[in-house]
Amino acid sequence: MRIVLVGPPGAGKGTQATRLAEKLRIPHISTGDLFRANISRQTELGKLAKSYMDAGNLVPDEVTIAMAKDRMEQPDAEGGFLLDGFPRNVSQAEALDELLQTEGIKLDAVLDLEAPEDEVVKRIAGRRVCRKDSAHVFHVTYSPSKQEGVCDLCGGELYQRDDDSEDTVRTRLEVYHTQTEPIIDYYRAQGLVVTISAMGPVDEVTGRALEALKSGK
């Protein structure tokens, strides 16, 4: 199965992508992982991407597309894949269509995770991370530490990352609405969009997604 996963920041895409890819036995291909892997291996594409990033510029679409193409051509992706973070705009979606057509394959579904904007802001802005170990993450509402501002696991200070502030989250949402959300209409015109609610326990959202993909609704 070949799937594109979309949704606003805070909708739980990363968590659901990992779970769905495991359930469907297909590789999870995320833009972030592609960049990190190529830069770490010092591939030509990685060096090119790093040159833009070091200069404080966005990585051009053609570089991202080339990375995605290379990854989708790996043996483990022959039976399908789940794309997370790509395509990020309509231009990338069009390029992906051209790429798949060249390979004689097509997408099976575009899974759209929906979450109210206020809930998204609450989810992200409420996160608190441990300064000693960034893997220790709490939430002021959903998973608070026993002592405010102190990590339960190591006693480190809990803080709010700059990119988790409410103002930053709302800016990220605006970017999503402007740049990424239009791909939903693009794919809806192709009859590929399957929309589900991203609200509720993680297991419920995963089950909802699997059922929606199975039924195509």
Q: Which of 13, 19, 71, 128 is catalytic?
A: 13
Residues 6+ apart with CB under 8 A from 183: 6, 87, 88, 89, 90, 92, 93, 110
Active site residue 188: no
The residues, ordered by sequence, that sit 6+ positions from 176 with a Cβ below 8 Å of its Cβ are 8, 9
* Distance from C-alpha of 24 to C-alpha of 61, rounded to nearest angstrom: 28
SS3 for 166?
A: helix
Q: Is 127 a catalytic residue?
A: yes
Under 8 Å between Cβ of 156 and 132: yes
Nearest to 202 by CA among 19, 63, 64: 19
Residue of 2, 88, 170, 208 marked active site: 88
161 belongs to the catalytic site: yes
Q: 189 with 93: CB under 8 angstroms? A: no
Strands 137-139 and 127-130, bridge-based pairing = antiparallel
Q: Check if 69 is active-site.
A: no
Out of 19, 71, 122, 127, the active site residue is 127
Residues noted as catalytic = 13, 88, 127, 161, 172
